[in-house]
Structure 1
Amino acid sequence: MTIAAGFVPGQGGRAALDLALQLARSGTAEPVAVVTVVSAGWRTPSPARVDAEFAAWAAEQGARALAAAGEQVAAAGPDVTVTYRTVAGSSVRRTLLAAAAEAVADLLVLGSSGDGPLGRLVLGSTSEPLLHSSPLAVAVAPRGYRVSPAPGSAG
């Protein structure tokens, strides 16, 4: 079983990735596919080239997000196989589902909205619709969820 983790820098993304790593460790060393969605931008080129500037900015944001995810995985321990991917799309929900399908994921892990108290689930604009319509299982990490580093890791 592959576990897809939707990752955005910040608390919700960190909680989702921690939960995905914990779930991967609880089975038979399941692989984790970290997915960051960036805006696809405009479909028509701009004479002022702002579309190219926006695409470069979005790619940079995606690279930063995946670097942060890589640091978090390294700190959590090297016992899980993790792949990283930035995907551009106009709908975060559809793009996450497509990326999870490409990774042949059986589970999509998301973070809780930052609007609620620590330790609680608060569904947001991405997680709520996916819970109702996703063709694969969805897990939502409670706000602020953290996992201890793997045994034998330096993190």
Structure 2
Amino acid sequence: MRYVVGCTEDKRGREAISLALALSRSLAEPTNAELELVHIIPGVPPAEAATRNERVYQEFLQQGAQKWMDRALALVPSSMSARTHIRFAASMAEGLLEAVAVFRANLVVVGAASSGPLRRFTVGSVANALLHSSPVPVALAPSGYLPPREITRITCALGTRAGADSVLEAAVDAAAVRHVPLRLVSLVAMDGEKYRGDRIDAARVHARKTLETAIAGVRNRTIVTADVAQGRSTEAAVEALDWDESEIVLLGSSRLAERSRIFLGSTANKMLRALPVPIVVVPRFYVLVPADAHHGYI
């Protein structure tokens, strides 16, 4: 299992490392995890600079980044495999996606925007770009995230549209390899409409049937429970559920996403505003290639 971790010189970088550590330590074989700590410097490498001033400036940034990356590496226990990389790219998102390809990573991990409220998400430009283009799952740590001793539950928000099977498969795999329970949730949000009682009941019945079908497909790989949350909005439905600080949530991509690419949909965006725990967004119709099948999804 190989994770590319976006390391910035602020608390976002520390929170991204914290989430990568939590995901790694919870694996059945934590020593199988490999962390590629990546810092991106905008622009070209010093050797490719067009002018002497540009070269000197890029060298200055590189030297400063190396000090930060040394501190970042010190956050990783010596029992885990971790390497630092300083790369140059037009943007951080572009550089992280290039690193994903170079290192054949299973997952890219980043922190929320630094202006976000505690334990909530404010998606910055880097995360936003990754959540609309990445070919591998993207894990996002909320502001103020600290790694728990272990991940105790994985929650999968399951929709009914085509492509839902891929996020369910990733959730089952993630729960099974960590030996933790899997909770499937379906949200019934009125979004301001005045639903009659019978329409609400019909929506809940439909959601329950969807979850029962999903449970039947798990085939005893892990313990599975199901919840249906109702609220006047998607955010209210999310807040109606109980949340454990040591769990993570898996979300699928919008039907607008290209095959094997992430595109965060409107419902998932609304959920982000209310979720107090880390999320992992899975590309639409995501399928592991044979060479990586033994590593799992996240």
TM over 0.5: yes
The corresponding residue for 1:14 is: 14
Amino acid in structure 2 at the alignment position of 1:64: K
| 2:69 aligned residue (61, 66, 71) | 66
The Cα shift of 1:105 comes to: 0.7
Partner-residue secondary structure (3-state), 1:132: coil
Q: Which residue of 2 aligns with 1:153?
A: none
- Aligned residue runs from structure 1 range 134-145, under 5 A: 134-145=134-145
Aligned to 2:117: 117
CA gap 1:44/1:4 in 2 versus in 1, 3 angstroms: closer
1:45 aligns with 2:50: yes
Q: Which one has a bigger Cα radius of gyration?
A: 2
Output the CA distance in 2 between the equivalents of 1:89 and 1:26.
Answer: 32
Count residues with an aligned counterpart.
Answer: 145
CA offsets, 1:124-152, max 9 Å, x none? 000012111111100100111112579xx
Matches of 2:15 and 2:122 in 1, distance apart? 13
Give the direction of change, closer, same or farther, for the CA distance of 1:71–1:39 in structure 2 (3 Å limit). same
Counterpart CA distance in 2 for 1:54 and 1:44 is 9
> Gapped runs of 5+ residues in structure 1?
151-155
**Distance in 1, Cα, partners of 2:55 & 2:79:** 39
In structure 1, the partner of 2:105 is 105
**TM-score, structure 1 length as denominator?**
0.86
SS of aligned partner of 1:22: helix
Runs of at least 5 residues in structure 2 that lack an aligned partner in the other structure: 151-298
Tell me, what secondary structure is at the counterpart of 1:105?
coil
In structure 2, C-alpha distance between the alignment counterparts of 1:3 and 1:68, rounded to whole Å: 18
SS of residue in 1 equivalent to 2:73: helix
Q: Secondary structure at the match of 1:5?
A: strand
How large is the RMSD of aligned CA atoms in angstroms? Answer: 1.8
Asked if the contact 1:107/1:139 (under 8 Å) is kept, the reply is: yes
Percent same amino acid among aligned pairs? 29
Q: Secondary structure at the match of 1:58?
A: helix
> 1:100 deviation in Å?
1.7
CA contact (8 A) 1:21 1:80 kept: no
- Which structure ranks higher in relative contact order (CA pairs < 8 Å, sequence separation ≥ 6)? 1
What is the TM-score with the length of structure 2 in the denominator?
Answer: 0.46
